[in-house]
Chains A and B, each alone.
Chain A
Amino acid sequence: MIDPSQPVPNIVASTAMTLPDLREGEGLESQTFFSWDQAFRWLVLGISLATAGVLFWLGGVIFQQALPAIRQFGWAFLWNQDWDVGNLTFGALPYLYGTLVSSGIALLIALPVGLAVALITSENFLPGWVRSPLAFVVELIAAIPSVVVGLWGILVMVPWLQPLQLGLHAHLGGLPIFGTEPFGSSMLAAGIILAIMILPAIAAISREVLIAIPPDLRSASMSLGATRWETIFRVLLPAGTSGIIGAAMLALGRALGETMAVTMVIGNSDLLSVSILDPGNTIPAILANQFPEALDDIHIGALMYLGLILFALTFAVNVAAVLMIRVLGFKRDG
């Protein structure tokens, strides 16, 4: 890993000169009035505190800017439905609802599919030389910029999806969630595009959780006569439950804050609708749409308030997820 001929001889050379002082019984520290070593330690400590401080700075700035809106609208902001820039009345409910529902749909789709991928790439369904590349390819989708995923979503996926949406409406139209005629962009489309984007996270973390389960458990279950899938459902998944829940929550946090792809396929309608075939809106989507043109202080304040709600929401979900994954020691560093 390192070239042994390069750095090590330098160290020997530089320290060799100070060696005589050691023989006189004095510590190296007392030689120099100002210790570079101590200074370096303090420097990295200070920088890491500053790095961590960014989170508080971020929360503080957004809270401070949201303050005018918080004073004016208070808690009622959360359940108010009107968002009228002209009259300067603002309410968050349609966006909060859209954020939660689209993320919920995404989780509902991505969890079973992600678990299937995790099982296929961690159990011995396939030879080992196929499994790792397969896991890598599934993770690759996380590398594609979300604006490109959104572009594909609105121009390719939504037209593909339209027959399915029409079918859902025709056959299950009696249910309120499929009760309106679909026009392409919809809450369902947003949920599906989010599912595509959070799938790699669920698959990758669940895979690590499954790999971390001791092989003894597998062997014991199989030697008692359980089939492969009986072992998976009765032993592996119960043993990995907490880690998998952690993965799902981490993915949920990502879904709640995903902006570009959702903005492009959800249709950006401010009307609250029970039907997931109707267009909707989310907090990130309205921030992306309105911030570039926001001029009134109270409008900017209301947008900041929305940003603060989103920050608090993802903060809570992420803290829970990180604690869940860490407490169980499933993180790579253990």
Chain B
Amino acid sequence: MNSFSMRPDVDPPPPESRLIEDLTRSLPWYRQGFTYGMTAIAFGFTALALLPLLAILFTILRQGIAGLKWQIFTQPVVEGGFANAIQGTLLMVGLASLVSIPLGILTAIYLSEFGKNSAIANIVRFILNILTGVPSIVVGVFAYGVIVFHGVNWFGNPILAKGFSALAGGFALAIIMLPLVTLATEEALKLVPLPQRLASAALGANDFQTTFRVVIAAALPAITTGVLLAIARAGGETAPLIFTALFSQNWIEGLMSPTPSLSVFIYNAYNFPDQLQMVWTASLVLVSMVLLLGLVSRLVTRNRLNTR
């Protein structure tokens, strides 16, 4: 009580009984109502956000499982399976990985090891961030313009024929994967502590040795996670493939002919009632592949979840 009386211009303190009453009184109804109301709304919205995911997974599982037969994985679309579509997806994602993973990792090495905060590195990083935001359909338009429309010429000599092809599809997927692989790898490399690099350098290793034998070796699990997520993303893409790889009812004839894929199969066939069962089953297979890759990538770097 004495501390209050040291300030003469403040009203004399209320008697102790009123002070206790003030402090223990519950909140006015509108403040309490606001708290409970907003909490209810927030939980309701969160439930609403989970609803589509559960509905999608449930529907695919229920509708798709009936069509799971062995011939689906052995016959092409003309003979009542979609093995050629799975083959095409794997082929084009493989082509894309072949280009984008090495380029992405080398770019990430520059950004994290040599460029760091230099102007060039910052600009490259910024451009990569923008590149991840380019819609996949625009990447498809780009691949169409580069390969499908004219073909590729080198000083007047055609090196790639024009037309729809697995190569055009793989090219589009590579452009989509490149910034994803790069940014994920850079994040992974930055997690390697500086003392490890210094220790390596102190032992006489040059930059090349330090980078590959120490930094990359240490970051490998996290890089794998990023690469697997990029592969999963590319495997599910449809928009860049519709008019670059097109589709084919039969087995793949080569890198330079129209090539089927699981996602384009779903898009092409969902309007035909007699194909609907196959479409649901194809969705089940595609989603399983993508989620499995995601799960594996989580397992590779388990402790990442805990550090967040």
Bound together, the chains give a CA A227 to CA B190 distance in angstroms of 40
- Residue in contact with A257 in the complex, picked from B120, B137, B287, CB distance below 8 Å: B137
Inter-subunit contact B242/A51 (CB<8 Å): no
Q: Is the interface of A mostly helix, strand, loop or mixed?
A: helix
Within 8 A of A (CB), among B255-273: 263, 266-267, 270
Using A148-B266, A332-B187 as known contacts, say yes or no to A62 and B49 having CB atoms under 8 A apart: no
B293 → chain A closest CB, angstroms? 9
Contacts of B196 in A (CB 8 A): 2
Q: Which residues of B contact A227 (CB under 8 A)?
A: 27, 31, 34-35
Which of B52, B59, B238 is close to A260, meaning CB atoms less than 8 Å apart? B238
B137 contacts A148, C-beta separation under 8 Å: no
- A141 touching B53 in the complex, CB below 8 Å, given contacts A2-B214, A18-B204, A156-B59: yes
In the bound complex, residues from chain B placing their C-beta under 8 Å from that of A303 are 141
Report the minimum CB–CB distance from B192 to chain A (whole Å).
8
- Tell me whether A58 and B134 are in contact (CB under 8 A): yes
In the bound assembly, the distance between CA atoms of A108 and B105 in angstroms comes to 38
* Residue of B39, B46, B50, B120 most packed against chain A (CB within 10 A): B46
CA of A127 to CA of B27 in the docked complex: distance in angstroms?
A: 25
Q: Complex: how many Å from CA A10 to CA B135? A: 46
Assess whether A86 is interfacial by the CB under 8 Å rule.
no
- Size category of the B interface is 35 or more
The B contact surface, by secondary structure, is: helix
Tell whether, in the assembled complex, residue B290 and residue A314 are in contact, meaning their CB atoms are under 8 Å apart: no
State whether A144 touches B133 (Cβ < 8 A). Answer: no
Q: Which A residues, 25 to 53, have Cβ-Cβ distances below 8 Å to chain B?
A: 28, 36-37, 40-41, 43-45, 47-52
Distance, CA A147 to CA B253, complexed state (A):
25
Beyond known contacts A143-B294, A147-B267, A227-B31: 12 more, CB 8 A cutoff: A14-B209, A45-B114, A116-B45, A125-B42, A148-B60, A157-B52, A157-B55, A259-B239, A260-B267, A307-B141, A319-B130, A333-B187
Could you give 23 example pairs across A and B, Cβ below 8 Å? A1-B221, A2-B218, A37-B206, A48-B111, A52-B123, A54-B178, A55-B127, A120-B42, A144-B236, A146-B238, A229-B35, A229-B38, A229-B39, A260-B238, A284-B239, A287-B140, A291-B140, A300-B149, A307-B137, A310-B137, A318-B130, A321-B133, A332-B187
